[in-house]
Amino acid sequence: MSTAIRIDYRRCNSCRKCYDLCPMDIFIMDEEIKMPRVAYEEECAFCGVCWMECPKRAIDIVYPPSMW
Amino acid sequence: MATQEMTDRIIETDVLVIGGGVGGCPAACKAAEHGLEVALLEKSKIERSGQTGPGLDEIGAYPRDGATVLDLMGRFPGRSSDPNMRYRVIDNMLWALEELERLGVNMRYVDGEYGWMPWNGLHSKDVGPKVQLRVHWQNVKPEMAAAVRKRGVKVFDRTMVVDLLTHNSKVAGATAVNTRTGEFIVFKAKAVVLATGRVSRHYGPDAPPSWKYKMAYNFFAPSMAGDGHAAAYRAGAELTCMEMAGQGPFPRDAMLLQPGQFFQNDGMTGLTLNWKGEELAPHQEMTHYMESQGMLPIYFSIENLPDDFQKRVEVHIADETMIRLKLAEDRGFNPRAHRYHLSLRGVGNGNILVNENFQATLKGVFAIGDCGGAGGGGGSPTAGFLVGDTIHKYVSEAGEPVVDEGQVENQRRAALAPLAVKDVNEGIEPLEMEYTVRSMCEEYGGAIKTEGMLREGLRRLGSLKKDFMPRLMAINPHYLGRCLEARNILDMAVVHLQASLERKETRSRGWGNTFVRFDYPKEDPTYSNKRLCQRLEKGEAVIEIKEVPALKPEYAKESK
């Protein structure tokens, strides 16, 4: 299924910034892979905080049809 | 049961600031500088929370360059907050500008200079004096957060207020829940500052109904749930102008880009067009169009501007919420050449009733920023500094707060109830509840209201609260936070419809601040210079029409 918030795990360095800063708290830290995961995507407010803060540019935000 | 047994933690403090945005942070800093113990509650994280979390591009207007405080007050006609409070805010904005710099917030635009911009005002196309401040506020929140932490304020991130604690008609603190750990915390405080932003998440997403897909929000979602409003209301404080917690125009194609950027582009204005491409006079005609929906849609455009001014608009967007440029590009939307469709969204102009000193009607509660009716990128920090600067006077006379254990127990039970609902066939997801409230508000309130629809909406919201709210279910602390929001959103939706029913007239108070009753299409002088005030008394809503206080003579005669 299409996702709006995409994490490129090849780029992610587990700095936790997205998890720490997301105003809607949609990320969780996946303890198995030690990387963030989007757990509550339907709550995303498209504010772009994770996208602008990510030091590795590992997050992409894509316009979903239900917001169009 | 003793309070210690009912709670995971008790925090004692002089001042409890609820909401760590651009109002709450300055208030906390200033109060701490006066030697007070300050705790700050933030349901997100103060480094990127609130409406300026991703940034802000402009602040205004300042009393300078020939524009007096009274001139600037006149630019916001009909706002029903205390004019003396608004006078104080605007009068102190230049002081707050210096204070912000002292906190380490970058207020300069380019070359270390202030970016003063002419402001043509919201009601004409004439280029006015340079009273607006252009800012690169992309990092305002990290800068403010550093200042807060440096001053020893106890910051509680990811912690959401449940309700205020009161004793003998005076505030005694608040209860809160950590939405990551589920920890229930009691705050004992002599004074509480509410700075949780506006309330308009009770209005529907303008996009297609999106529950189960993506939840569309108006403005910045966490700041719009009305947590402070709801907590104050349930504790007995008065709210005002809640019928105005309605809808206003926002450019949909830019994902909530604020239209101010089109108008305040250093005096170069964009175009406001109808669907046939005919130019409208912004604001006056636009408001008229909004009221008669058959004439919609309206578009904004900057296609008329020279290249460098179009570029400026793009930088405005980047400064406020950079992601919008990226999303626009993805959709093939050219911010320079394409027209922005304006649609109605929740804007939220209702607030906690405060006096000149930002004091709510419940003793010991102060409300600032959008919560108290003096908001925006300029009003919120100014009000925050003013309250933080004077709150020690109240604190020194307040006496020790007394926490009522029965109240704590009730609040704990109400707050944590969704965690105890285990039957997945019975339990209701908080987002479904929020979506239902919002679509009801949209359907029965909406931009154009009638008595019959309002009554039907209230009936439905009432039974929603009675029959479905007890089944609200949270499978973890994250969803518990969303449940608490849903409860606040529902309470504020009811308040909004009740107030809308009571205002039997149609009134345009300028842009984004329009109230339309289909069954009362004319302005009624009964409501001129009046405001609806609403409070909870023994579980019942009491609405009174009260006079807006007059501007004090010493303020009224000012004209520097």
pLDDT score, position B126: 65
Q: Which residues of B touch A23 (CB under 8 A)?
A: 44-45, 48-49, 53, 220-222
What b/e sequence results for B505-538 when a residue is b if at least 16 CB atoms lie within 10 Å of its CB, and e otherwise? bbbbbbbbbbbbbeebeeeeeebeebbbbbbbee
Shortest Cα distance, chain A CAs vs residue B151, angstroms: 21
Q: Identify residue B315 by its one-letter amino acid code.
A: V
DSSP label at residue B369 = B
The pLDDT, as a whole number, for residue A53 is 97
pLDDT at B69 over 60: yes
Confidence of residue B259 (pLDDT cuts 50, 70, 90): low
Q: Which helix (H) or strand (E) holds B540?
A: strand B540-547
For residue B282, which of B249, B320, B245 has the smallest C-alpha distance? B249
B20-41: average pLDDT: 98
Task: Note whether B270 and B299 are within 8 A (CB).
Answer: no
Longest dimension (CA), chain A: 35
Q: Which tens digit of pLDDT belongs to each residue from A9-23?
A: 999 999 999 999 999
Beta carbons of B120 and B41 less than 8 angstroms apart? no
Burial class (CB in 10 A: 0-12, 13-18, 19+), B284: middle
Q: Are B245 and B72 in contact (CB under 8 A)?
A: no
Flag whether pLDDT at B94 surpasses 60: yes
Query: Could you give the CA distance from residue B559 to residue A64 in angstroms, rounded to a whole number?
Result: 52
CA angle, B83 then B89 then B93, to 5°: 145
What is residue B137's DSSP assignment? Answer: G
Collapsing DSSP to helix, strand or coil, B487 comes out as: helix
Put simply, the answer to whether B321 touches A22 (Cβ < 8 Å) is: no
The verdict on a CB contact (< 8 Å) between B213 and A4 is: no
Q: If pLDDT is split at 50, 70 and 90, which confidence band does B77 have?
A: very low
Q: Collapse the DSSP code of B534 into the 3-class scheme (helix H, G, I; strand E, B; otherwise coil) and give the result.
A: strand
Q: For residue B207, what pLDDT is reported? A: 45
Of the two residues B68 and A22, the one the predictor is more confident about is: A22
pLDDT for residue B539:
93
Using a pLDDT cut of 70, give the percent of chain B over it.
88
**pTM score, two decimals?**
0.95
Binned at pLDDT 50, 70 and 90, residue B353 comes out as: very high
User: Which tens digits make up the pLDDT trace of B457-480?
Assistant: 999 999 999 999 999 999 999 999
Establish if B18 touches chain A: CB-CB under 8 angstroms.
no
C-alpha span between B272 and A36 (Å, rounded): 43
Residue B515 predicted with pLDDT over 70? yes
Give the gap in angstroms from C-alpha B179 to the nearest C-alpha of chain A.
Answer: 9
Note whether B527 and B35 are within 8 A (CB).
no
Query: What number is the average pLDDT over the span B307-327?
Result: 88
B48 and A40: CB-CB below 8 Å? no
Residue ranges and CATH numbers for the domains of chain B are 3-245+348-406 (3.50.50.60), 248-345 (3.90.700.10), 414-523 (1.20.58.100)
Q: B280-294, B440-454, B467-481: which range is least confident on average?
A: B280-294
B305 against B176, higher pLDDT: B176
Between the CA atoms of B344, B346, B349 and B353, what dihedral angle is there, to the nearest 10 degrees? 160
Q: Which residue of B has its CA nearest to A18?
A: B48
pLDDT at residue B159 above 80? yes
Q: Which residues have a Cβ under 8 Å from the Cβ of B249 and sit 6 or more positions away?
A: B259, B286, B290, B298, B342, B343, B344, B345, B511, B512
ipTM score of the complex?
A: 0.96
* pLDDT exceeds 80 at position B31: yes
CA dihedral (B160, B162, B167, B172) in degrees, to 10, reads 0
- HSE-up (13 A, CA, CB side) for residue B117: 28
Q: Using CB atoms, which residue from B255, B321, B478 is nearest to A40?
A: B478
